[in-house]
């Protein structure tokens, strides 16, 4: 008999994702990718899935919508789901998501039998809802810890206090779950959690891209590329400051964020800096395949990265293109033989890394990238990770 899961999270059909991308400055690309891969991993292991979702958007007025309506949908995989209605205002967002989610998920579980609720992310309304479902319907609940709770560095006193209270709620209810799926084991250790858990750092698409069959960027220089959120905290500014010091390389950057204006200026001032703007997720893979090396410059000292794992590490390896990355605390040792590591994360250290890689032979780089691609397809494919989730569910 197939296992039946409700995923309480952010899985949406393509048309609703497009609405989010158009109306929200946050660009939740990775949230959507993780949601899609989670769903596919369970389907590929013969589980049935129903999605109870909400749009991962910023509060009004950063997002132009103050109200989000209830919707039903069937996505491209044939999976059915609903979108929760809520008021997109500070505090009211949490309250209305909780009330609508509690009512609608209760109704779903009354009508159909499911084996477990999987909560994607540690969004406090969803954690409380899942714990109530466990009591009311005697159902197993599992949380996938993707983004740890953080206190804003600079905001009003009310928001800071609200975030602190939200954190207390999160950890109180998190301890009531039957099991956790974490991106980094450090989350378990640092928070002294004694729940059953597994580490699942992400997914890679099953489609294999062949970089040998893709035209190059057209540059005579060695090309590096980065795609994703454009913010200083992701190490993007230091990467650019390093790249401008090397005449024999070109750096291509794709995405949007707080550094967009800065990158536009740098692109105008330096011929080897190319800011290409936002590229839709469905097109970015083919674009990145044209690079000689991809870069993940996220600083390893940031406390946030102890508990998260950048999905671009797996995505870049899956493309079969060499990857230069910082050595993040959440990166397990089995990655290290498949990537090129930035050991010194200062601007001068990044300069040295870029220079060293640009002088490596294409044969050596190609051998490394193909081994890395094989590694993630064998160990991080949706099929492999879905099997891991099912085995974990059956063990708790």
pLDDT in tens, 113-142: 999 999 999 999 999 999 999 999 999 999
Specify the pLDDT at position 151: 58
Q: What is the mean pLDDT of the chain?
A: 92
The pTM of the full predicted model, rounded to 2 decimals, is 0.88
In this prediction, residue 246 carries a pLDDT of 98
On the question of pLDDT at 345 being above 70, the answer is yes
From CA 116, how far away is CA 39, in angstroms rounded?
A: 14
CB atoms within 10 A of CB 122: 24
pLDDT at 147: 78
- Name the helix (H) or strand (E) containing 370: helix 362-379
For residues 230 and 256, is the Cβ–Cβ distance under 8 A? yes
CB contact at 8 A, 128 and 174: no
How many residues are given for the chain? 396
Q: Is the pLDDT of residue 366 over 90?
A: yes
Q: What is the pLDDT of residue 220?
A: 84
The long-range contacts involving 195-198, CB below 8 angstroms and separated by at least 24 positions, are 196/392, 196/395, 196/396, 198/388, 198/389, 198/392
pLDDT tens digits, one per residue of 157-209:
888 888 889 999 999 999 999 999 999 999 999 999 999 999 999 998 755 45
Q: Quick check: 225 and 294 in contact, CB under 8 A?
A: yes
Distance CA 87, CA 173 (A): 23
Per-residue pLDDT of 51-90, as tens digits, reads 999 999 999 999 999 999 999 999 999 999 999 999 999 9
Q: What is the per-residue pLDDT for 155?
A: 58
Q: Is-contact 325 313, C-beta < 8 A?
A: yes
In this model, does residue 154 exceed pLDDT 60? no
pLDDT(353) > 60? yes
What pLDDT does residue 217 have? 59
> Which tens digits make up the pLDDT trace of 305-321?
888 888 889 999 999 99
pLDDT (tens digit per residue) in 212-245? 445 555 678 999 999 988 999 999 999 999 999 9
Contacts of 46 (CB under 8 A, 6+ apart): 2, 3
Confidence (pLDDT) at 150 = 64
Q: How far is it, in rounded angstroms, from Cα 298 to Cα 233? A: 7
- What pLDDT score was predicted for residue 26? 77
| pLDDT tens-digit readout, 1-33 | 689 999 999 999 999 999 998 888 877 888 999
């Amino acid at each position: 008999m197939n296992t039946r899961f409700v995923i309480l999270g952010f899985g949406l059909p393509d048309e609703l994702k497009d609405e989010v991308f158009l109306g929200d400055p946050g660009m939740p690309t990775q949230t959507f990718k993780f949601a899609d891969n989670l769903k596919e991993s369970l389907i590929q292991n013969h589980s049935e899935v129903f999605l109870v979702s909400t749009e991962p958007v910023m509060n009004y007025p950063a997002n132009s919508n103050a109200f989000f309506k209830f919707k039903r949908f069937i996505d491209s995989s044939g999976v059915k789901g609903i979108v929760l209605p809520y008021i997109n205002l500070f505090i009211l967002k949490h309250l209305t998501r909780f009330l609508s989610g509690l009512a609608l998920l209760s109704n779903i579980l009354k009508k159909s039998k499911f084996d477990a609720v999987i909560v994607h992310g540690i969004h406090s309304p969803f954690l409380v809802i899942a714990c109530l479902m466990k009591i009311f319907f005697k159902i197993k609940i599992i949380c996938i810890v993707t983004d740890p709770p953080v206190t804003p560095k600079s905001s009003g006193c009310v928001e800071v206090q609200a975030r602190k209270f939200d954190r207390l709620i999160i950890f109180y209810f998190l301890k009531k779950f039957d099991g956790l799926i974490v991106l980094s084991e450090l989350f378990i250790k640092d928070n002294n959690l004694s729940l059953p858990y597994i580490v699942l750092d992400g997914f890679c698409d099953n489609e294999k891209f062949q970089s040998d069959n893709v035209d190059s960027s057209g540059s005579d220089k060695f090309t590096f590329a980065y795609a994703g959120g454009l913010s200083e905290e992701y190490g993007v500014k230091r990467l650019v400051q390093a790249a401008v010091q090397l005449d024999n390389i070109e750096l291509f950057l794709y995405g949007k964020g707080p550094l967009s204006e800065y990158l536009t200026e740098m692109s105008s001032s330096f011929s080897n800096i190319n800011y290409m703007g936002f590229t839709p997720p469905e097109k970015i893979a083919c674009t990145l395949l044209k690079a000689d090396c991809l870069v993940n410059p996220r600083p390893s000292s940031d406390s946030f990265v102890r508990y998260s794992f950048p999905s671009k590490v797996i995505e870049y390896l899956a493309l079969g293109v060499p990857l230069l990355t910082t050595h993040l605390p959440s990166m397990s040792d089995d990655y290290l033989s498949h990537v090129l590591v930035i050991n010194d994360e200062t601007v001068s250290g990044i300069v040295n890394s870029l220079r060293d890689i640009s002088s490596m032979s294409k044969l050596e780089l190609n051998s490394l990238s193909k081994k890395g691609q094989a590694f993630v397809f064998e160990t991080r494919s949706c099929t492999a990770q879905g099997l891991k989730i099912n085995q974990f569910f059956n063990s708790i």
